[in-house]
Amino acid sequence: MPKSRAKKKTKPATAEMSTAEAAVATLIAHGLNTIYALPGVHNDHLFDAFQRAGDYLRVIHTRHEQGAAYMALGAALATGKPQAYSVVPGPGLLNSGAALLTAYGMNAPVLAIIGQIPGAAIGKSHGHLHEIRDQAGIIARLVDHSSHIRNAGEASVKVAKAIESMSRGRPGPAALECAIDIWGKRGLVPPIVGPLPARPPKIDDDKVRAAAKLLGKAKRVLIVAGGGAQDASLEVTLLSSMLQAPVLGYRRGRGVLDSRDPLSVTLPLGRDLWGEADVVLAIGTRLLNPMNQWGVDKNLQIVRVDADPDEPARLHKPKVALVGNAAPILRRLIDQLVKFNVRRVSRHNEMQERQAKLRQRLTKLAPQLAFLEAIRTELPEDGIYVDEVTQIGFAARLAFPVYRPRTFLSPGYQDNLGWGYATALGAQHARSDVPVLSINGDGGFLYTGNELATAIRHRIPLVAVVFVDGAFGNVRRIQQEQFGNRLIACDLANPDFVKYAESFGAAGRRARDPDELRVALRESFAGREPTLIEVAVAAMPSPWEFIHMPRVRGLQ
Ligand SMILES: Cc1ncc(C[n+]2csc(CCOP(=O)(O)OP(=O)(O)O)c2C)c(N)n1
Ligand SMILES: [Mg+2]
């Protein structure tokens, strides 16, 4: 080709496509290969585009929109990668609302693709099918990035920007809406937009040095790891070892430092260490409970590492705030500490002793711990545990050993009952290479237990345990202990969960104690099919004294 022709500027190619086709091509160009969804007339053209994408984009359809959204959340949490779900407007959107709210609270990259009534009727309150007042306003309140796709020409860039927004700054969900009469409308579409370049914030080396100085001089550093530290496990492990700093991970921070390391702590040891610390290094955590419940004083200096520039000073201005992704910032911090030649005496023995003492205290929770031991023995090291708002879950947050990041999925501050089963189903679908275990109370399980049908339909070999005490046990115990045993709205009429599972075509097993649970788990993981294990249990001892603890600082 002559040189002059090769250099000649050509207009970017355009193709005629529907809005839905452009949106789907963009999802695929971003490496998304699954959409968790529940169809309806508003999104028919979108689903037709999914259909014609064939193997490039599989649709996992669920039995309720909350199932679709929780599955996308579970897939996002288990992989750390963006995931998408699609629902009809109005009731479809609201049905998915608790999951979207949870994705927001957990900073999880979940893209909601939501239908809309006819474009010309939006905002006019005519009463169209699934109309909801100010849908755009509602989704804009639920997520940080939302937009409305108006035509085929802008579909690709809007989808690409939405996906990009989910990992920029503080990660989190995004939402797109598109009217029923627009998805199928054809138009000239510029080239499909692939992943937009990441623009990580520049790391402030002066601040890194200031943080390193503080940490280098400190005598008793405590690291607090939150969900934002899940992808910086290596760096946190190294820092912990260099500084001989214990790492507190409670709900979302579990697994950042391997539980087998004596420096890996949960509550209440974390609170004791908070009380003793001169410097706290808080990574990817709001630090709400430590600061609110345990207190701060002038002898405690805090270094924050956070993706969100607004987060560090929300409750209490830190000494140093480092803004950006945790892993690269911590690597710089480690480099600086190496330069300062920081050395520390081993706290191995001290921490081992303290851990042993804590184990003694925690024997109060013996019934829960025995079941957790059975689970830990049978769940492989890289298996994923999905938490619930139930007695076994509360104890797991304190005492379940977690060996790797992203293998302990807990819902964070929303702590919403009923998230577990469908979230675990999404995690298992996205990570078919490892076993996933969903634990549930009998109250929480029936929020999304209907998704057993999805497990069967899409052959997702999730194993779920349901601990059956015939009650919203946590509520019941509070009423017994704090309200003179005046019980209200806490007893449950349950199905036979084994028969329930079997009626879907899933495997059902029963276990009466931790030993039987162990056997049932072993058989279930070997079976690799959708499975439910019912475990009848008595009321369990309260974990709350180990979770809500009095102040240790700022007492005057
Ligand atoms: C969405 C939502 N609704 C209500 C609650 C309040 N709540 C917390 S625990 C609980 C009872 C849980 O019952 P179950 O799942 O059987 O677990 P158990 O305590 O019996 O082990 C309730 C209703 C909540 N956390 N989230
Ligand atoms: Mg219960």
- What residue owns the CA closest to ligand 1's atom 11? 472
Ligand 2 centroid to residue 531 C-alpha, Å: 19
- What residue owns the CA closest to ligand 1's atom 4? 417
Q: State the pLDDT at residue 341.
A: 87
Alpha-carbon gap, residue 314 to 508, rounded angstroms = 48
Mutate to test the pocket of ligand 1, among 417, 438, 446 (most ligand atoms within 8 A of CB): 417
Alpha-carbon gap, residue 26 to 47, rounded angstroms = 15
Q: Measure Cα distances from 451 to 111, 160, 197, 428 in Å.
A: 21, 30, 37, 13
Q: What is the pLDDT of residues 209-241, one digit of tens each?
A: 999 999 999 999 999 999 999 999 999 999 999
Ligand 2 centroid to residue 474 C-alpha, Å: 7
pTM: 0.97
CA 549 and chain centroid, separation: 25
The single-letter code of the amino acid at 322 is: L
Centre a 10 Å sphere on the Cβ of residue 467 and count the other Cβ atoms it contains.
27
Alpha-carbon gap, residue 433 to 369, rounded angstroms = 28
Contact 315, 287 (CB under 8 A): yes
Mutate to test the pocket of ligand 1, among 389, 397, 478 (most ligand atoms within 8 A of CB): 389
Nearest to 61 by CA among 350, 425, 399, 372: 425
Residue found by looking up tokens 């910032």 in the block: 329
**Taking each helix axis from N to C terminus, what angle separates 348-362 and 269-276, rounded to the nearest 10 degrees?**
140
Strands 34-37 and 83-87: parallel
Contact 27, 53 (CB under 8 A): no
Put residue 440 in one of left, alpha, beta given phi > 0 → left and psi -120 to 50 → alpha: beta
> Which atom of ligand 1 lies nearest, measured to the CA of 393?
21
Residue found by looking up tokens 């990817």 in the block: 284
Ligand 2 centroid to residue 471 C-alpha, Å: 4
Ligand 2 centroid to residue 248 C-alpha, Å: 29
Ligand 1 centroid to residue 401 C-alpha, Å: 23
Ligand 1 centroid to residue 468 C-alpha, Å: 13
- What residue owns the CA closest to ligand 1's atom 7? 417
Mutate to test the pocket of ligand 1, among 446, 474, 479, 547 (most ligand atoms within 8 A of CB): 474
Q: State the pLDDT at residue 68.
A: 99
- What residue owns the CA closest to ligand 1's atom 20? 473
Segments of the chain scoring below 50 in pLDDT: 1-4, 6
> Which atom of ligand 1 lies nearest, measured to the CA of 472?
13
Q: Tell me which ligand sits closest to the C-alpha of residue 468.
A: 2
> Which atom of ligand 1 lies nearest, measured to the CA of 98?
1
DSSP conformation letters of 235-282: HHHHHHHHHT--EEE-STTTTSS-TTSTTEE-TTHHHHHHHH-SEEEE
Ligand 2 centroid to residue 457 C-alpha, Å: 28
Sorted by sequence, the CB contacts under 8 Å of residue 418 that are 6+ apart come out as 98, 388, 389, 443, 444, 445, 446, 447, 448
Mutate to test the pocket of ligand 1, among 392, 423, 472, 490 (most ligand atoms within 8 A of CB): 472
Contact 405, 351 (CB under 8 A): no
- What residue owns the CA closest to ligand 1's atom 6? 417
Q: Tell me which ligand sits closest to the C-alpha of residue 440.
A: 1
Q: Tell me which ligand sits closest to the C-alpha of residue 469.
A: 2
- In sequence order, the β-bridge partners of residue 463 are 437, 531
Ligand 1 centroid to residue 145 C-alpha, Å: 31
Q: State the pLDDT at residue 453.
A: 99
Ligand 2 centroid to residue 287 C-alpha, Å: 30
Mapping DSSP to helix (H, G, I), strand (E, B) and coil, where does residue 509 land?
Answer: strand
Alpha-carbon gap, residue 311 to 290, rounded angstroms = 15
Token code pair at residue 10: 């050509």
Q: State the pLDDT at residue 225.
A: 98
For the chain, report the end-to-end CA distance as a whole number of angstroms.
81
Q: State the pLDDT at residue 555.
A: 80
Ligand 1 centroid to residue 469 C-alpha, Å: 12
What residues are in contact with ligand 1 under a 6 Å CB criterion? 389-391, 415-418, 441-444, 467, 469, 471-475
